[in-house]
Chains A and B, each alone.
Chain A
Amino acid sequence: QKEVEQDPGPLSVPEGAIVSLNCTYSNSAFQYFMWYRQYSRKGPELLMYTYSSGNKEDGRFTAQVDKSSKYISLFIRDSQPSDSATYLCAMKPSGGSYIPTFGRGTSLIVHP
């Protein structure tokens, strides 16, 4: 079992839909949870990160962490064609580790 599991998709939705992207993990030591967006042929871009459990909102994006279920989500409201990209989750324990563990990414397609 991989430490971080993420459905590769593609996930295809109509413009304006609410998108839910998810990752599950097995390492209970993970405390920091990050979401990256990667456009085709570009480097990943950090969207947001959360610490421990709870929600964090930034504009149309909401990150949610459920540590009891070892499950994290990224919600995108009012999705736009410009949101079409691959979304990678990443997570890291607190303490001295410098290396986050990445999911393989979910490809999202928002069609007009």
Chain B
Amino acid sequence: SQTIHQWPATLVQPVGSPLSLECTVEGTSNPNLYWYRQAAGRGLQLLFYSVGIGQISSEVPQNLSASRPQDRQFILSSKKLLLSDSGFYLCAWGNRGFGAGELFFGEGSRLTVL
């Protein structure tokens, strides 16, 4: 069966510090990978998605970046965090090809920027 791991689960970072969130998927090959952010009381905001190694599409211009160094690894980064980067970050994977497009989410990483 497929599993998705996301870490760290919680982190508190000062403004201006760097960020690295990691996500790995097991039990599937060539998945589509996604990073979402969910602010308190708000919906899911798609940040990045990837259909293959090194292929990253950005949905929201900001100080975050994403990389996919391996087929089942997706990393969210920032060189200098802003207060507005606080939120709940979710990694998700989906199957390639046509279909329902259902996504499977990790447990999330809660980031607080102080």
Contacts and interface: CB of A to CB of B under 8 A. Distances in A.
Contact of A49 (B6, B41, B51, B102): B102
Contact of A88 (B6, B34, B44, B102): B44
Interface in B55-109: 88, 90, 92, 94, 98-108
Interface string B18-61: 00000000000000101000000111101001010000000000
Q: Main SS of chain A's interface residues?
A: loop
A68 to B, nearest CB: 21
Q: Main SS of chain B's interface residues?
A: strand
Given A32-B100, A49-B102, A98-B32, A43 B90 contact: yes
A20 B110 CA distance: 30
Contacts of A49: 100, 102
Interface of B: 6, 32, 34, 41-44, 46, 49, 51, 88, 90, 92, 94, 98-108, 110
